[in-house]
């Protein structure tokens, strides 16, 4: 199969070139503002800013500081989020923590190009992550020794994989290093890099082939019995099941792989496979919050199954990478949905606890037995390290990497692709352009683009979300405007002080999911049943608590699909994801569905709709999904 993968490219390495739709801006060219910056400040005050002092896995004993502690993926994961977060917030104290790891890493490189903790020198995967950290560091500091370090390691891989091929996690996650190779090539085109990416693809898990004819259309439990498999050693389990092909984090990381192949090969079909794969995963394993179910392995589309926080942030990063390569607007819709719903829902308001697994329908958070494929019973708790610490280390990249995908360039065009309050400062046709996007989106409908600095003609493209039926735009007479596909296109002379006003009317709509259940959406926000939550401390360590959460309120409602929902805007607060003061509420009619009950300490899968139901109709209250810990977000319905 390896030889077939090499031959299928049909192109000699030296004939390949790199082509993509958009140019990603460097970190210093985009600045978070408004509510997004406030979320990042909360993040820094919470676990992101405290882990170095309070969690040994990324603390002063880390193997990535020469210590005897964890020497694999956790410190690189942590830095992949903490480094850009520290930069965006100008937090010098946390920046110095990042520099400790960076300096140690740069000094650890051997003559052959390999680097990192001595006791994990044979591992590729953790180095792939650290390359992503160093890429960001280079964009900020522009130190050539950092770029040279990355090149030397890539040359090391080129030599070493002939005798020591990539395997296991590295084999499944080759896309992460292809991403870095693409970046290096864009700065400094060299044929050996193209040969290297081809060598790696010959050894990688072929996600392009797998997504082209996706075989895992049922939960992993349909194909494998974990109770029986767990009797074997890990090495045997890998032979008995498609472990890496069904591991949810591998799968969502793998989404970018066909797009990267298409980028190197100039093969639009492979880019199309990547885009279609997002729809395929949604169809068979997706939930209304935008994420993919996997309680370690793909677990179907029931809203009672779990979705891993690592999968949330890695799906975001795959979508961000695919946006750059394909320019496909609907990927930005998906990115906004998962970023503004699933991501904040898995982390407490103060960013001091997170869930390993969240549920779209979640009415009890506890360490009782669940219907997971192979995660343990603590996976559903909010805390420091529920189930396993990978998410504790990896969750920090969510907001910072989103910032870097708000804006793109396309030749002499500036593209506003994902919407959040921000400033962009870049060069268009060798002219300085600075624009501020003033908005409370996705919580409100309006976006205002203020031109802070410009004195030239260029083109501005603004994505039109798929959910918006009647978008509006207002520009001055010096500019032409038109709709081109999924974009507003504004062309003409831009001068300091100019404004462009956009409005995306947000109608309440119902979308259909598992068992024909209905989700209530407005814009890119998903809404969930507002339940009273009772938080219980399960344990405490160094001021960080693990929590279970319960409710005594009724949750098993079916909604009246023909009712007209009522939208009520909330009072303006600093944190739009506040449960006590939510940014908005939606009211609609519902009846209690008494035959819908708990199963394995979770809300059972919703019965197939429409349901027959009697009883008194009442009005229920929904709030944004990201503000909830307990909720129903996929309801059965009655006519």
pLDDT at 19: 60
pLDDT at 477: 84
d(CA 37, CA 40): 5
d(CA 499, CA 15): 45
Is residue 93 one of the residues assigned to a domain?
A: no
Please name which of 235, 242, 164, 239 lies closest in space to residue 203, comparing C-alpha atoms. 164
Structure tokens at 467: 């959910």
Is residue 416 one of the residues assigned to a domain?
A: yes
Give the angle 389-393-397 at the CA atoms, nearest 5°. Answer: 145
What end-to-end distance do the CA atoms of the chain give, in Å? 52
CA distances from 550 to 33, 306, 365, 367, 540 (A): 35, 17, 6, 12, 19
Phi, psi of 280 (to 5 degrees): -65, -45
Phi, psi of 205 (to 5 degrees): -65, 125
Tell me whether residue 141 is exposed, middle or buried, using C-beta atoms within 10 angstroms of its C-beta: 0 to 12, 13 to 18, 19 or more.
middle
Give the HSE-up count for residue 210: Cα atoms under 13 Å, Cβ half-sphere. Answer: 21
Beta carbons of 62 and 550 less than 8 angstroms apart:
no
d(CA 119, CA 114): 13
d(CA 59, CA 568): 45
pLDDT at 13: 37
97-108 tens-digit pLDDT: 999 999 999 999
Using only C-alpha atoms, the chain has a radius of gyration, in whole angstroms, of: 24
For the chain, the farthest-separated pair of C-alpha atoms sits apart, in whole angstroms, at 76
Chunked in runs of 10, what are the mean pLDDT values of the chain (639 residues)? 38 47 95 98 98 96 96 98 98 98 98 96 97 98 97 98 96 98 96 97 98 98 96 94 98 98 94 97 98 98 98 98 96 98 98 98 97 96 95 98 97 96 95 97 98 94 97 93 96 95 98 98 98 96 94 98 95 90 97 96 98 95 98 97
Give the HSE-up count for residue 147: Cα atoms under 13 Å, Cβ half-sphere. Answer: 13
d(CA 52, CA 378): 23
Residue with tokens 């975001």: 316
Give the angle 384-338-603 at the CA atoms, nearest 5°. Answer: 70
- Contacts for 408 with CB less than 8 Å, ≥ 6 apart: 22, 23, 24, 25, 323, 324, 327, 414, 415, 417
pLDDT at 574: 84
Secondary structure (DSSP) of 102-150: HHHHHHT--TTS--S-GGGTT-SHHHHHHHHHHHHHHHHH--HHHHHHH
Beta carbons of 200 and 174 less than 8 angstroms apart:
yes
Is residue 125 one of the residues assigned to a domain?
A: no
3-state secondary structure 248-297: HHHHHHHCHHHHHHHHHHCCHHHHHHHHHHHHHHHHHHECCCCCECECCE
Tell me whether residue 24 is exposed, middle or buried, using C-beta atoms within 10 angstroms of its C-beta: 0 to 12, 13 to 18, 19 or more.
buried
- Contacts for 479 with CB less than 8 Å, ≥ 6 apart: 490, 491, 492, 493, 494, 500
Is residue 463 one of the residues assigned to a domain?
A: yes
423-455 tens-digit pLDDT: 999 999 899 999 999 999 999 999 999 999 998
- Contacts for 471 with CB less than 8 Å, ≥ 6 apart: 464, 465, 488, 502, 503, 504, 505
The domain containing residue 488 runs over which residues? 407-439+446-503
CATH number at residue 434: 2.60.40
Is residue 454 one of the residues assigned to a domain?
A: yes
Structure tokens at 210: 């797998």
Q: Which helix (H) or strand (E) holds 327?
A: none
Is residue 276 one of the residues assigned to a domain?
A: no
Give the angle 235-239-241 at the CA atoms, nearest 5°. Answer: 115
Q: Exposed e or buried b for every residue in 87-102, given b needs 16+ CB within 10 A?
A: bbbebeebbebbeebb
Beta carbons of 630 and 605 less than 8 angstroms apart:
no
pLDDT at 573: 80
Is residue 161 one of the residues assigned to a domain?
A: no
d(CA 81, CA 439): 24
Residue with tokens 């060598």: 199
pLDDT at 252: 98
Is residue 412 one of the residues assigned to a domain?
A: yes
**Number of domain units in the chain:** 1
Please name which of 424, 295, 311, 442 lies closest in space to residue 369, comparing C-alpha atoms. 295
Taken as a whole, the chain contains a residue count of 639
Give the angle 361-365-369 at the CA atoms, nearest 5°. Answer: 95
Q: Name the DSSP letter for residue 338.
A: I
Beta carbons of 157 and 131 less than 8 angstroms apart:
no
Please name which of 27, 62, 31 lies closest in space to residue 135, comparing C-alpha atoms. 27
Residue with tokens 């308001």: 349
CA distances from 274 to 66, 262, 280, 419, 469 (A): 39, 9, 10, 23, 26
Give the sign of the dihedral formed by CA 134, CA 139, CA 140, CA 145.
Answer: positive
Neighbouring C-beta atoms of residue 411, cutoff 10 Å:
10
pTM for this one? Answer: 0.96
């Amino acid at each position: 199969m390896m030889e077939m993968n090499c031959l299928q490219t049909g192109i000699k390495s030296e004939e390949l070139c790199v082509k993509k739709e958009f140019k990603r801006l460097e970190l210093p060219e985009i600045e978070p503002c408004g509510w997004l910056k406030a979320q990042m400040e909360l993040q820094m005050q919470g676990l992101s800013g405290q882990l170095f002092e309070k969690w040994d896995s990324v603390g002063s004993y880390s193997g990535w500081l020469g210590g005897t502690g964890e020497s694999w993926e956790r410190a690189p994961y942590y830095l992949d989020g903490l480094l850009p977060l520290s930069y965006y917030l100008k937090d010098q104290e946390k920046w110095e923590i990042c520099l400790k790891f960076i300096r140690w890493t740069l000094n650890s490189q051997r003559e052959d190009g390999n680097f990192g903790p001595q006791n994990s020198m044979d591992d590729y995967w953790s180095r792939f992550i650290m390359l992503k950290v160093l890429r960001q560091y280079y964009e900020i500091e522009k130190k050539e020794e950092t770029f040279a370090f990355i090149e030397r390691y890539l040359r090391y891989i080129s030599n070493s994989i002939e005798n020591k091929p990539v395997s296991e996690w590295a084999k499944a996650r080759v896309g992460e290093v292809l991403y870095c190779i693409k970046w290096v090539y864009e700065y400094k085109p060299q044929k050996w890099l193209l040969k290297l990416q081809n060598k790696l693809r010959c050894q990688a898990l072929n996600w392009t082939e797998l997504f082209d004819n996706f075989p895992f259309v049922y939960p992993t439990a349909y194909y494998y019995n974990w109770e029986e498999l767990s009797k074997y050693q890990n090495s045997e389990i890998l032979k008995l099941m498609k472990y890496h092909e069904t591991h949810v984090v591998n799968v969502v990381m793998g989404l970018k792989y066909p797009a990267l192949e298409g980028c190197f090969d100039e093969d639009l079909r492979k880019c199309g496979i990547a885009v279609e794969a997002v729809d395929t995963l949604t169809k068979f394993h997706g939930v209304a919050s935008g994420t993919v179910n996997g309680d370690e392995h793909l677990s179907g589309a029931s809203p009672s199954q779990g979705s891993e926080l690592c999968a949330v942030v890695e799906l975001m990063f795959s979508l961000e990478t695919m946006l750059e390569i394909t320019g496909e607007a609907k990927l930005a819709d998906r990115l906004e949905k998962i970023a503004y719903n699933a991501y904040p829902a898995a982390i407490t308001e103060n960013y001091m606890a997170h869930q390993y697994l969240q549920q779209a329908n979640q009415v009890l958070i506890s360490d009782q037995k669940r219907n997971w494929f192979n995660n343990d019973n603590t996976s559903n708790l909010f805390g420091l390290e529920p189930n396993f610490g990978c998410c504790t280390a990896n969750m920090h990249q969510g907001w910072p990497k989103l910032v870097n995908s708000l804006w793109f360039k396309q030749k002499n065009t500036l593209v506003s692709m994902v919407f959040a309050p921000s400033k962009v400062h870049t060069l268009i046709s060798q002219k300085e352009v600075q624009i501020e996007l003033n908005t409370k989106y996705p919580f409100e409908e309006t976006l205002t683009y203020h031109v802070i600095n410009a004195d030239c003609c260029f083109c501005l493209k603004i994505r039109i979300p798929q959910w918006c039926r009647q978008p509006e735009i207002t520009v001055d007479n010096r500019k032409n405007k038109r709709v081109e596909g999924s974009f507003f296109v504004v062309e003409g002379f831009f001068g300091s002080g100019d404004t462009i006003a956009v409005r995306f009317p947000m109608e309440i709509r119902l979308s259909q999911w598992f068992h024909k259940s209905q989700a209530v959406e407005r814009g890119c926000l998903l809404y969930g049943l507002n339940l009273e939550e009772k938080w219980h401390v399960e344990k405490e360590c160094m001021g960080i608590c693990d929590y279970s959460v319960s409710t005594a309120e009724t949750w098993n409602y079916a909604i009246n699909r023909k009712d007209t929902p009522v939208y009520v805007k909330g009072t303006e607060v600093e944190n739009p994801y506040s449960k006590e003061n939510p940014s908005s509420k939606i009211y609609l009619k519902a009846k209690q569905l008494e035959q819908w009950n708990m199963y394995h300490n979770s809300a059972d899968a919703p019965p197939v709709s429409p349901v027959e139901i009697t009883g008194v109709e009442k009005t229920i209250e929904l709030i944004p999904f990201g503000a909830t810990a307990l909720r129903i977000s996929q309801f059965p319905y009655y006519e």
